[in-house]
Amino acid sequence: MKTPFFYLLLFLTLIACDSKSTSAEKNSTTIQSKVVQRRLVDLSHAYSDKTIYWVTAQEFRLDTVYNGQTDKGYYYSANNFSTAEHGGTHIDAPIHFVKNGQTVDEIPLEKLIGNAVKIDVSSKTIKNPDYLVGIDDFMDWENSQNTIIPDGSIVLLQTDFSKYYPDKVKYLGTDKRGENAVRLLHFPGLSPDVAEWLVQHRNISSIGIDTPSIDYGQSEYFRSHVILLKKSIPAFENLTNLDKLPLNGFEIIALPMKIKGGSGAPLRIVAVITDGKSNDVQ
């Protein structure tokens, strides 16, 4: 015979189960969903016979090995290419200007992949191809973003000179080649004072620019290169599409050809822009 205690226990158990069920139903009606949109922006110029190189460097060459239908019935295409390390969209490894500095294959991936910021000086380079990006430009960015440049950031400098690529006269300042052409170069770059300020007061991973060099065209001693590379801060040069990036809140993936002992290498660099928000679905 079932006692009154048994029925009381059964009643309480049913109430508890109903309470859990009701709670689960309430939870199921409100779903937190994360809507994430990711955009990839290619910051690299393609390599071709129009690729811009330093005026003393060997230019890109592509030679066809085979292109067509084989006697076995399948299509086959293969080429040989030759190029200087420093041309087109490429990376400068520390050893480029620093004895015993890191070579391309020795640069840690942490220097090449990470959060990034953009300093836009395009309004100042329109009428001044010899513009030097100054400390004020960095201060303006920090004031506008209400923050200092975060540790480990990859810094990109937008001059908008990439819009001239591959017109050598507009992009480089000259279409002449050889040692005598070096003095004819005109394009913006980073002030050595800022390079020194960055290594003393900020902790960046790497830096890039949409011109042929991190030093401006009329530089004779390449001091910005020396200062940055001495601190193992690699430089990305001849970037493009920086106008498609926000000032903050994106990531960079910059992977060079892994040349053992290389002082530089062709670079494929992309920006990852992620926009996300939470939606309550009832």
**Tens-digit pLDDT string for the chain (282 aa):** 555 555 445 555 555 555 554 444 445 444 455 667 899 999 999 999 999 999 999 999 999 999 999 999 999 999 999 999 999 999 999 999 999 999 999 999 999 999 999 999 999 999 999 999 999 999 999 999 999 999 999 999 999 999 999 999 999 999 999 999 999 999 999 999 999 999 999 999 999 999 999 999 999 999 999 999 999 999 999 999 999 999 999 999 999 999 999 999 999 999 999 986 434 433
**Strand bridging mode 154-158 / 113-120:** parallel
How do the domains of the chain map onto residue ranges? 37-46+86-280
CATH class of 37-46+86-280: alpha beta
Dihedral (CA of 162, 226, 47, 254) sign: negative
Residue the block writes with tokens 């020396």:
226
Q: How far apart are CA 187 and CA 217, in angstroms?
A: 5
